[in-house]
Structure 1
Amino acid sequence: MKIIYSAYIKISLVAVMSFFISATALAQERGNEEPRKSPNATVSQTIGTTDITITYGRPAVDDRTIFGDLVPYGEVWRTGANESTALVLSDDVTIEGNKLEAGTYSLYTIPGKDEWTIIINSKLSWGTQYDKSKDVLRFTTEPQKADFSERLLFYFEDVSQESATVILHWDTTKVPFTINI
């Protein structure tokens, strides 16, 4: 058991270190260390023994029309501000029935009025440098009406030992997807 736990710690540290090295490189790429208009945030959840971490920029509504205007329907959106939204998985998981290996990924979306496409991509980048050839997984989900949220927010609901639902929430829209271990 001690050997397995030690290996788990090492794998987790490698994943976290690779993310922070990427984040440092991306900060250098943007060229400054000034406070951001869309500050970064990180949310983590353990499901069983699997750690899930999402790091993203949090843009504000600022009296703008978000979905269908600032974020057009039918086009790839970086799903946050600044760098790519990062999804770090300590172990292999299943997302909406699709297998995904442990690792660090970017998360993009294609918003729609009645359906959203969630894109898991292997390339982390600054801004909108999306590369479709690096897509690892795509699936669809239905958006839901929600209470107003001024800033983009990711959080977890319905957490159990086997699964959790990730919620992307901004303005009056929630977009859920389920991760199973």
Structure 2
Amino acid sequence: MKKLFVLTLIAGLFTAGAVSAQEKKEDKSKRPSPPAVATGTIKSGAEITIDYSQPSVKGRTIGAEIAPYGKVWRTGANEATTFKVSKDVKVEGKALAAGLYSLHSVPGEKEWTIIFNKTANQWGSYEYKEADDVLRVAVKPAKAAAATEKMTFSIDKSGKVSLLWGNVIVPFNVK
């Protein structure tokens, strides 16, 4: 009888612990920079998925207070943004194998460097290592037609991927 009582008590503790852990699981949609996903299939048939968190401008200056010019940035918020492509492609004319990458960038006033890094699962750019870069491409930012408060990615059928944020648009081509 004592054994049954002890076993029941232990089982109850494990169950309560599991329920408590589930209750503590974070609802990422409640974050100040909520999660978002951009997906698209380009002309070549390659599927692109960009999984990211959307920081807001909140009156700050891009290049100074947020996404500082000249420094590697996670190209989003929270976990590093990931870029997944289903087939081998060319980004700005340079080869990128099918796979999952973290997407970082080095913002600049006249040029942004878009970085595809082989370490997909990392928090922000804190553990980023340049030695793990698979591809870097330089692109020209432009003034956006309209301001975008929350950073957003778009992918069109032609393979144009655009980062829209504040008054800037940072496009790059995937073929």
Q: TM-score, normalised by structure 2?
A: 0.79
TM superposition shift of 1:130 = 1.1
Amino acid at match of 2:73: W
2:45 and 2:60 map into 1 onto residues whose CA distance is 40
Q: Which residue of 2 aligns with 1:154?
A: 153
Q: Which has the larger radius of gyration?
A: 2
Moved over 4 A (4+): none
What are the ranges of 5 or more consecutive residues in structure 1 without an aligned counterpart? 1-27
| Residue 168 (structure 2) pairs with residue 169 (structure 1) | no
1:127 and 1:175 map into 2 onto residues whose CA distance is 19
2:165 and 2:61 map into 1 onto residues whose CA distance is 11
2:33 and 2:65 map into 1 onto residues whose CA distance is 18
Q: CA RMSD in A?
A: 1.6
What are the ranges of 5 or more consecutive residues in structure 2 without an aligned counterpart? 1-20
Amino acid at match of 2:130: K
TM superposition shift of 1:174 = 0.4
| Residue 26 (structure 2) pairs with residue 33 (structure 1) | yes
Instruction: Give the % identical residues.
Output: 45
The correspondence for 1:83, drawn from 79, 85, 93, is 79
| Residue 109 (structure 2) pairs with residue 113 (structure 1) | yes
Amino acid at match of 1:43: A
Q: Which residue of 2 aligns with 1:11?
A: none
1:117 and 1:49 map into 2 onto residues whose CA distance is 26
Q: Which residue of 1 aligns with 2:136?
A: 138
TM superposition shift of 1:133 = 1.1
The correspondence for 2:93, drawn from 97, 121, 126, is 97
SS in 1 for 2:150: strand
TM superposition shift of 1:72 = 1.1
1:169 and 1:67 map into 2 onto residues whose CA distance is 14
Q: Which residue of 1 aligns with 2:174?
A: 179
2:64 and 2:153 map into 1 onto residues whose CA distance is 20
Amino acid at match of 2:89: V
1:81 and 1:172 map into 2 onto residues whose CA distance is 18
| Residue 119 (structure 2) pairs with residue 123 (structure 1) | yes
